[in-house]
């Protein structure tokens, strides 16, 4: 158990049988008769809905430690996503709502951490940024124009807006949570080539 005053972003708490990951937690000082309050914004690990609460700073909350296991993504059968522990070959499944809109970033044989609570998988930990190859890109309007964007198709089938200079075959960085283009991945040239 922890007090609400100890809440920090990234912590997992259990409220009414549901697990929530804290996104933001801040203390607001009270005035007059009203004492200070702890405001928290959290994401439900099962449904991915965001909820906001107000707690008294000394209110007791149940904190939860999740175990992380590196798993390999295998496939989906429409409603469930299947992962395998590469050491024990044990397979687990997670429902579609646990993956959410991030499913487009799952690639077969991709290794990714899965969070477990009492041996039950509850969440997949996606990286903040992924690198994907551009498989289809229209020609740019002007070669060095960076203020206008065009739509390209990435290797995972996702359409994203990128600057005009991005060409087919290039690798781009995409923010997982928003699906936004961040930057082009520059090729590292070896000395002497």
Which domains, from first to last, does the chain contain?
A: 2-64 (2.30.30.30), 67-124 (2.40.50.140), 129-184 (2.40.50.140)
Residue 52's pLDDT band, with cuts at 50, 70 and 90, is: very high
**Pairwise CA distance, residues 84 & 78, whole Å:** 17
What pLDDT was estimated at residue 145? 55
Residue 9's SS3 state is: coil
Q: Which residues contact 56 (CB under 8 A, 6 or more apart)?
A: 4, 35, 37, 38
pTM of the model: 0.71
pLDDT of 124 > 90? The answer is: no
Q: How far, in Å, CA of 36 to CA of 55, rounded?
A: 9
With a pLDDT cut of 90, the percent of the chain lying above it is: 32
Tens digit of each residue's pLDDT (9 = 90 or more) over 128-159: 898 999 999 888 776 555 568 889 999 988 99
């Amino acid at each position: 158990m922890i007090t609400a005053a100890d809440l920090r972003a990234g912590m997992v708490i259990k409220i009414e049988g549901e697990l929530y990951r804290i996104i933001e937690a801040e203390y607001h000082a009270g005035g007059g008769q009203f004492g200070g309050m702890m405001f928290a914004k959290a994401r439900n690990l099962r449904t991915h809905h965001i909820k906001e609460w107000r707690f008294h700073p000394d209110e007791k909350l149940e904190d939860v430690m999740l175990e992380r296991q590196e798993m390999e993504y295998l496939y989906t059968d429409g409603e469930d996503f299947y992962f395998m522990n590469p050491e024990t070959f044990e397979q687990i499944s997670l429902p579609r709502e646990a993956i959410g809109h991030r499913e487009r970033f799952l690639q077969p044989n991709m290794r990714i951490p899965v969070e477990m609570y009492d041996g039950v998988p509850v969440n997949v930990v996606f990286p903040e940024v992924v690198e994907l190859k551009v498989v289809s890109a229209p020609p740019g309007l002007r070669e060095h124009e960076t203020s206008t964007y065009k739509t390209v198709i990435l290797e995972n089938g996702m359409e994203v807006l990128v600057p005009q200079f991005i060409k087919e075959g290039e690798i781009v960085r995409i923010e997982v949570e928003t699906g936004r283009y961040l930057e082009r991945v520059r090729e590292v040239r070896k000395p002497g080539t």
